[in-house]
Amino acid sequence: MSLPLEGLSAIVTGAGRGLGRAEALELAGLGASVVVNDFGQPGRDGSGEASAAPAEEVAAEIRAAGGQAVAHTGDVADHEQARELVQSAVETYGKLDILVNNAGILRDRMIFSMSETEWDSVIHVHLKGHFNTTHFAAAHWRERSKATGGPVYGRIVNTSSEAFLAGSAGQPNYAAAKGGIVGLTTSTALALAKYGVTANAICPRARTRMTEDVFAGFAEPSEGRLDPLAPEHVSPLVGYLASPAAARVNGQLLVVHGGMVAVVERPRVAAKFDSAKEAFTFDELDEALSPYYADRPSNETFAAAEVLGLKRG
C-alpha cells in the first residue's frame, strides 16, 4: 500500500526543533522526501552562532527511520539563500512539491518599548522569510506548468498564529508578521490555483522553545499521556494539507492544537450603519456607534487566554 506523499518532495523551514521538526518527521513518515532547513541559531530571538547540527540531526533521524532527507542550513530571510534552498530540493529530488514555512524568531516587547531593530528582525524572518521561499517555489511550479501545458502538484503550508487573531500585547511585531502571512497566503492561493497549487495557513498552538514563556503554568500532561500542547498534535494537519486529499482546500486558515482543528472564516460584517444624508456628521456617528459599543464587552475582557480558550493548570 502506497503512502499519501510517496514520490513527493518537501521543504520544511525551521525544521531543526519544535514544530518544524515534528512536521518534517510527519511528512517523511507519509512518504515524502524532505529537505530539512534550519539556520541553527540557538537563541529563540535569532541570536547565537548558526549551526548545521539541528538540521543535520533531524535529517539523520528521518534517514534512520528509512526515509529520505537532506539538511539545508540557509537563512530563509535572505533572498538568495531561499533561492538556493528551493534549488537544492529541485536538484536533489528532481522537483519540489511541498513547501512548509515554519522558521521564525521572537523579540517580544510592548509597543512603547520596542526598538526598530526588534520590529524589523521579526518581520524580516517571519514575513519576508515566508515570501522568499514562496516566491521561488511559485516560480518553479509556474515554469513546470508552462512546460507541461497543465496543472502541476504544489502545496504550501504557512505558519500564522493566534497572536494575529486575538492580539498579543507584548508581541506587536510577531502579531503583525503573522497577520501579514495570512494575507500572503490568500493572495498566493488565488495566484497559483490555475497552476494546480494550493496555499493554506495554520495557527498552531504548541509547547516549544519558542513558546515556553507563553505556556508556562498551563496544564502539564498526566503520566503516560501526550501533552495537549505537543507539536505532534499539529503535524498531522500539515501532512493532510500537503497531500492529494486536500486538493480542494485552498486559501484557508486553520487553528490546530491538542486534537482540535478549527476552520476560521474570513472576517464578516458585524454591524452596518448608514448616514441619513450624503456623509456622516460627528453627532450622527456618535449616536450610532457609541450605544453599539456601550453594549459590548470592553477590550479588557478580550485577554488572549480567554479568547483562545486556554486554561491554566
135-141: list long-range contacts, CB under 8 Å, 24+ apart.
135/82, 136/82, 136/83, 136/85, 136/86, 136/87, 137/11, 137/86, 137/96, 137/99, 138/188, 138/191, 138/192, 138/197, 140/86, 140/90, 140/95, 140/96, 141/96, 141/192, 141/195, 141/196, 141/197
E strand or H helix at 255, and its extent?
Answer: strand 253-257
Residue type, position 26, single letter: E
Residue tagged active-site, from 33, 88, 145, 161: 161
| Pairing verdict, β 260-264 and 253-257 | antiparallel
* CA 155 – CA 167 distance, rounded (Å): 28
174 is catalytic: yes
Residue tagged active-site, from 128, 178, 195, 243: 178
Which residue in 176, 195, 188 sits closest to 252, CA to CA?
188
- The DSSP secondary structure of 137-193, one letter per residue, reads HHHHHHHHHHHHTS---EEEEEE--HHHHH--TT-HHHHHHHHHHHHHHHHHHHHHG
Number of neighbouring beta carbons within 10 Å of residue 44: 20
Residue type, position 274, single letter: D
Enumerate the β-bridge partners of residue 218: 312
93 is catalytic: no
Enumerate the β-bridge partners of residue 71: 36
Dihedral angle of Cα 73, 155, 153, 141, to the nearest 10 degrees? -60
Cell matching residue 28: 517523511
Enumerate the β-bridge partners of residue 99: 11, 156
Residue tagged active-site, from 93, 153, 174, 195: 174
Q: Which residue has the cell 502506497?
A: 2
Please identify every residue annotated as catalytic.
161, 174, 178
